[in-house]
Amino acid sequence: MISDEIKNQLIAQDRGTGDLGEVESCSEINSTCNWLEKDTDAASYGTSTVIACTYISSDANDPLIITNASTTTLSITGEYGIATFNQLSYKFKDIETGESLTGSSWPPTDPRVIYMYELIEDPRANRDVTTVVEFLIEFDFSSIGTPPTSIAPTAITYNLYVDTVNQKAYRKDRISFIHGVRNYCFKKLKTELSATLSGELLGEPVPDAPAADYVNNNQQSNEQSTEDTTHSNVNYFSTQDGDTISTENSDLIILEQV
């Protein structure tokens, strides 16, 4: 068996990308990242076995995604949520000062966000999410005619380490697995927006309705919105799929599509 010292001296070899297919955000997924040998591996190094699998990174950083590495594979479960499509923004008012404020983190943490009057969704219809995985491969070259030799770029690193005594060779492969994720985050916004405006997500009670001059200021500040719907005491939000969200919270809220 390979020692920990040799494992640490192996340089991960870039094996390119692996296609995990397309999935929808805000829906349960269950994908598996598997190693595949090169066309030349069997002839050059003998029989291959994955002896370790390690999660390296993801460019989504979504807390709703769960990665679990076994000895041979990495599973990706959970769902891609709003953190995956996080290029959203919103505007809200401080009704005490009349100041217009902006935010982009979700869920919001400022209690004044219950006076939101504009929400712009992440404009991306889809995006690629890359999960990087490393596999440690053991080759048994006892059955091939010519044994391989170690490939060592430096005195203390290896691209391929060969154990001539036990007739084993070792290589570390790095693969970038790609999910094509479609943006269905309006599914989450339908529920989370209502909870945010009610103060539920913030743990805050809903204050009295804003004064009339606050509503008038909101109307004036949103004259240039590309799409808006206004209704007394009921707020409508047009989503990317054409659905409408309605909430009965503050006096004027607009969702702008881009």
Per-residue pLDDT of the chain (258 residues; tens, 9 = 90+): 799 999 999 999 999 999 999 999 999 999 999 999 999 999 999 999 999 999 999 999 899 999 999 999 999 999 999 999 999 999 999 999 999 999 998 888 899 999 999 999 999 999 999 999 999 999 999 999 899 999 999 999 999 999 999 999 999 999 999 999 999 998 888 788 888 887 766 655 445 444 334 333 444 444 443 333 333 233 444 445 444 444 444 443 434 444
Give dist(CA 122, CA 258) in Å, integer.
Answer: 8
pLDDT number for residue 54: 98
> Structure pTM?
0.78
Specify burial of residue 82 (Cβ count, 10 A radius: 0-12, 13-18, 19+). Answer: buried
Contacts with 49 (C-beta within 8 Å, 6 or more apart), sequence order: 137, 138, 139, 140
User: Interior CA angle at 77 toward 74 and 79, to 5°?
Assistant: 140
**29-33 and 74-78: which strand pairing?**
antiparallel
pLDDT number for residue 234: 34
Map tokens 């969704």 to a residue.
Answer: 121
pLDDT number for residue 189: 86
- Give the tens place of pLDDT for each residue, 136-157: 999 999 999 899 999 999 999 9
User: Interior CA angle at 197 toward 194 and 201, to 5°?
Assistant: 80
Closest CA to 133 of 176, 90, 170: 176
- CB 98 within 8 Å of CB 215: no
Secondary structure (H, E, C), 24-59: ECCCCEEEEECCCCCCCHHHHHCEEEEEEEEEEEEC
pLDDT number for residue 59: 96
pLDDT number for residue 32: 98
